[in-house]
Structure 1
Amino acid sequence: MMRLLKQIKTAVFPLLILLITACNLPTELDDAIITPESTAVVEATATAVPPGYTRSNPLPGHISHTIANWEVEILDSVRGEKAYHAVLAANQFNDPPPDGWEYLLVRYRVRSLYAGEDKESLGLHVSGDGNVLHYSFNSSAVSPDPMLETYLPGGAESEGWEAYLIQIGEENLIVMVDDVSNYEEPEQYIALAEGNRVTVNEELLNSITPTLVGTDPSEPAPVGLVITTEDWQLSILELYSGEGAWNRIIEANQFNDPPQEGLVYILVKMRLRYIGLEESGELVHLHSDLFTLIDNDGNRYDVPSIVEPEPELDGRLFPGGTLEGWMVLQAPESIIPESRLLFKPRTNSVDNLRYLSLGDYGR
């Protein structure tokens, strides 16, 4: 049979060439014969992320690094009781750390590589395996001498201490370096100690399944129940209103104003955990403005402008990060039992929108 097919091909092929020529069809063999497309597999080569651009592969500490338009070097660090005593010695009015928190002091040497006399800003923040970003200004503490200057003209240099509040037991501390004056430059990371690195457990976060609790405004989630959305887990830990709320608010800051006439304060302590996986490990900003108080008629009540008790509900989280904090609301006391707290984050808000009950408001 194979021999017969070969004879047929031998006889037919010359006739095919004659037919192509007669019809003014392409005479090049490559034009006349259709060949199958190449099946070779081209493998995409992933571009390796250089050291310093992720918390899983930070730059080594205690050597000088050029990052964007700055030279940055970590010289020393101290935490816990020793750090608190140093902070207290720097200023007797520095507050003790809130429950569950401790002071961290980091000594840096920085130099601006900008040209000219205009001052530029450098941000030096800290994070660890708690997956929360800690700003130095969040501590509200006066740092020991010499204090670091991070707002410098071109060519200027500073050496000194920055004070942070970190969670007790938080390890694998890493410094985030942010050239605040240059938005096009990505942040970079320096390990505070040799071997420090943080890797997000994506498998664990992906295994958490959202629930429907709190999705119906007529059935808000009760106080104390953990709600799981597409990107968040959240719950109300403590709740006060009226005199109980006001006493804690005036204790937090003696200059806080009383509530508006006809309204009472509502003081809520929340716990939130970010379980989403933003591309490139992007940070999300958590603040009390993600919550809105709504009554049965759909009226919304603005968050008052006052100083909340510490810790306030404000921070930036990496995937897996958990934050607890206080926020203050105000509304007529009569509407509170039937009101709802709407949670509407900026991350995929349709799948994350939830309603929480304030039914246990009377404490």
Structure 2
Amino acid sequence: MNVGKILAVVCILIGIVLVGCVSEISTKPDETPESQPVKTQTRGPRGSYENPASIKETVVVRTLSGTFEITVLDCIRGEKAYQVIKASNMFNPDPDQGFEYLLVKVRFKYALGKASQYVSAYCFEAYCDGTGYSPAFVVLPKDMPDFKDVNLIPEGMVEGWIAFIVPQGKDILIAYEYIFEPVCFIKI
């Protein structure tokens, strides 16, 4: 075996190890409401697929790019969301039969890192029954600013609304995706 082949195999193995170590999640302890009991973590860490975080609970995601804090601050769905969307712009599409609008207000903070980080609404997916739904192309009302596409540096933050079209009346998980993989989940 020549040196080039050995070097290629070593690089591939290092890449596999790094991909397996891409992110780590946790929640901020001071974000847990005092009126709710703290749940015992019997499955995955809080904010994982097995143990999703709740609305208004901040999930801390550690990646190779830095540490991010992600919070779903509010949500509107169903008929109320439909009315908001249609009142904003009559050309916004109607959901297909069996689907409804879901509006989520998300805060994304770049807590720690060394370089800039690009983030947009398309870094988020709405998952239902194992299927991911990308943000919908709609015009939102002026009093509900959309989640902007931005580059953040450490301590930078963006906050705004994201619209999804999801299956009607089903449980939904909002996921932040890093390098095309969901790394944290928040239950709606």
Q: Same fold (TM over 0.5)?
A: yes
1:269 aligns with 2:105: yes
Classify 1:315/1:299 alpha carbon distance in 2 versus 1 (closer, same or farther; 3 Å): closer
Please state whether the residue corresponding to 1:292 is helix, strand or coil: strand
Q: 1:333 aligns with which of 168, 174, 183?
A: 168
1:315 is matched with which residue? 149
Paired residues for 1:56-75 under 5 Å: none
Q: Which residue is equivalent to 1:248?
A: 84
Structure 1's unaligned 5+ residue stretches are 1-208, 359-363
**How far 1:334 sits from its partner (Å)?**
3.1
**Aligned-partner residue type, residue 328 of structure 1:** A
Deviations 1:118-159 (A, max 9, x none): xxxxxxxxxxxxxxxxxxxxxxxxxxxxxxxxxxxxxxxxxx
What is the aligned-residue RMSD (CA, Å)? 2.2
The match for 1:287 is 120
Structure 1 residues 241 and 277, CA, compared in 2 at 3 Å: closer, same or farther?
same
Deviation at 1:210, TM superposition (A): 4.8
Answer yes or no: is the 8 Å Cα contact 2:72–2:105 preserved in 1. Answer: yes
Which residue of 225, 229, 239 corresponds with 2:75? 239
Mapped contact 2:135–2:164 kept (Cα < 8 A): yes
Matched residues in 1 for 2:134 and 2:105: separation?
17
Any conservation in 1 of the 2:121–2:149 contact (CA below 8 Å)?
A: no
Structure (1 or 2) with the larger CA radius of gyration: 1
Aligned residues: 140
Distance 2:70 2:145 in 1: 16
Residue of structure 1 equivalent to 2:41: none
TM-score normalised according to structure 2 size: 0.66
Correspondence list, 1:136-175, <5 A: none
Q: CA deviation at 1:232?
A: 0.9
Q: Distance in 2 between matches of 1:219 and 1:270?
A: 19
**Could you tell me how far apart the structure 2 residues matched to 1:354 and 1:258 are?**
29
Q: TM-score, normalised by structure 1?
A: 0.36
Aligned-partner SS, 1:273: strand
Q: Spell out the pairing of 1:1-363 with structure 2 (5 A cutoff).
A: 210-211=26-27, 212-215=45-48, 217-230=49-62, 231-279=67-115, 282=116, 284-296=117-129, 298-309=130-141, 310-316=144-150, 317-335=152-170, 337=171, 339-346=172-179, 353-358=183-188
Cα deviation for residue 327 of structure 1 reads 0.3
Query: Structure 2: how far apart are the matches of 1:210 and 1:332?
Result: 28
Bigger proportion of residues as strand: 2
Q: 3-state SS of the aligned residue for 1:250? A: helix
Structure 2 gaps of 5+ residues are: 1-24, 28-44
- Distance in 1, matches of 2:91 and 2:128, equals 29
**% of aligned pairs identical?**
24
Distance 1:285 1:313 in 2: 12
Deviations 1:224-268 (A, max 9, x none): 111111221111111111111112212332321221222100011
Q: Is the 8 A contact 2:128 2:166 kept in 1?
A: no
